[in-house]
Amino acid sequence: MKHIIGIFILMFAAQALLAEEYKDFGKERLNSSLRHGEWVDIKSVGRTIKAFVVYPERKDKTPAVLVVSEIFGLTDWVRSLCDELAENGVIAIAPDLHSGQKFEDLDAARKATSALPKEQVKADLDATADYTLTKIPSCNGAVGICGFCWGGGVTFAYANENPKLKAAYSFYGTAPDSADKVKNIACPVYGFYAENDERVNATIPKAEELMKAAAKKYEPVIYKGAGHGFMRSGEPDDPAMREGDKKARDEAWARWRTLLKQLP
């Protein structure tokens, strides 16, 4: 009996480890990066939040991109993606909208994220955008935003809230469903979606209709063979990496690099 119990304990520990690796890898890239990354404090409404900033190696001032995480919060993967953005020539700044929370499983992440007040998320993004424009001297005044999964939906929604944004890159996040949610968008919105993700993709046609009616630019692209979350699950360093997602991630990055060069 003790032997059987011991086996179950080892299996549980192994599963817990795999779950942690699935949602929080990327330290190797961060530790080997030659780019400067740092934590900063940002004053938001009634509180102070942390944000992770990575600077590109450039001799001139550059655009900046706000990075909105998945439901797992500001993981090492999100920070490693910030480094990858900086490698491609822009300042990347990721606010910790989850206030330092760490999650042991998917349900905990879902509950915590759904409990975040929308007004607080907007205030934190406003504070981060203002910080970028006023406290980062190497920023040239152009700010975009990107987000993944939950963060992809937040990205599309926030484009309607901040007229200073120059571009929005929404990765497999749900799209707006009413005219009032797009009427104030002042920048182009670029969508990156997975073929095997109808839950999200079902929201695209309505958003296309709304954006066209409002004379807004919306360019959604659906990547064949990919599943939801392919920017993370397509990472070679992800223990659960999927080949279809890796191909989609490579294609998405090729497109994204071109779009980043178009930032003012």
- pLDDT tens for each residue of 122-171: 999 999 999 999 999 999 999 999 999 999 999 999 999 999 999 999 99
Number of domains composing the chain: 1
CA gap 79, 34 in Å, rounded: 14
Specify the pairing of strand 62-68 against strand 91-95: parallel
pLDDT band at 10 (very low <50, low <70, confident <90, very high): very low
Average pLDDT for the chain = 91
Q: Which domain holds residue 28?
A: 2-260
62-68, strands of its sheet edge to edge: 37-44, 47-54, 91-95, 62-68, 139-148, 165-171, 189-196, 218-227
Per-residue pLDDT, averaged over 40-63, amounts to 97
Strand ranges inside 149-188, DSSP E: 165-171
Query: What single-letter amino acid sits at 122?
Result: K
Instruction: For the full predicted model, state whether its pTM sits above 0.75.
Output: yes
Per-residue pLDDT, averaged over 18-29, amounts to 58
CA gap 184, 163 in Å, rounded: 7
Predicted local distance difference test score (pLDDT) of residue 236: 84
Answer yes or no: are the C-beta atoms of 148 and 232 closer than 8 Å. yes
Burial class of residue 26, CB neighbours in 10 A (0-12, 13-18, 19+): buried
Per-residue pLDDT of 68-119, as tens digits, reads 999 999 999 999 999 999 999 999 999 999 999 988 789 999 999 999 999 9
Q: What angle do CA 65, 236, 111 make, to 5 degrees?
A: 60
Q: Is 166 left (phi over 0), alpha (psi -120 to 50) or beta?
A: alpha
CATH number at residue 124: 3.40.50.1820
Per-residue pLDDT of 173-230, as tens digits, reads 999 999 999 999 999 999 999 999 999 999 999 999 999 999 999 999 999 999 999 9
pLDDT band at 25 (very low <50, low <70, confident <90, very high): confident
Terminus-to-terminus CA distance in the chain, angstroms? 67
Alpha-carbon radius of gyration of the chain: 19
Predicted local distance difference test score (pLDDT) of residue 52: 98
